[in-house]
């Protein structure tokens, strides 16, 4: 088990980046993204290792991306199947979903 309150870290490397959580043992749950221009991001991939399973880590990562996109006036294209499924489950995120 890991701490569900672990801080989400944003790593921004120009046109690409990721949000991640790190367990005390060094395991990382991550969601990667690619920037398309100034106003859009594509969520490419979400990976949650066994150390984080069942704790909502993937949802926390996508939620953080949604919050950040909303604050920055950006739209999200959820190509990652997990992120896409979360957008379908959360109609309140429609304002940041790229139509």
Domain ranges of the chain: 9-93
3-state secondary structure of 74: coil
- How much is the pLDDT for 4? 58
- How much is the pLDDT for 2? 46
Task: Count the alpha carbons within 13 Å of 3 in the hemisphere toward its beta carbon.
Answer: 10
Residue 73: Cβ-neighbour burial (10 angstroms; 0-12, 13-18, 19+): exposed
Q: Is 1's pLDDT higher than 60?
A: no
Instruction: Say yes or no: domain 9-93 is CATH 3.40.630.30.
Output: yes
Q: What is the pTM of this model?
A: 0.92
Give per-residue pLDDT as tens, 23-37.
888 999 999 999 999
- How much is the pLDDT for 24? 87
- How much is the pLDDT for 35? 97
Direct distance between the N- and C-terminal alpha carbons of the chain, in angstroms, rounded to an integer: 38
Distance CA 58, CA 98 (A): 20
């Amino acid at each position: 088990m890991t701490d569900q309150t672990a801080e989400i870290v944003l790593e921004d490397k120009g046109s690409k980046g990721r949000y991640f959580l790190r367990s005390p043992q060094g395991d990382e749950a991550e969601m990667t993204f690619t920037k398309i221009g100034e106003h859009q991001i594509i969520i490419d991939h979400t990976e949650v290792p066994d150390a984080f399973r069942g704790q909502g880590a993937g949802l926390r990562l996508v939620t953080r991306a949604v919050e950040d996109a909303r604050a920055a006036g950006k739209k999200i294209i959820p190509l990652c199947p997990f992120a896409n499924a979360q957008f379908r489950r959360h109609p309140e995120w429609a304002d940041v979903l790229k139509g």
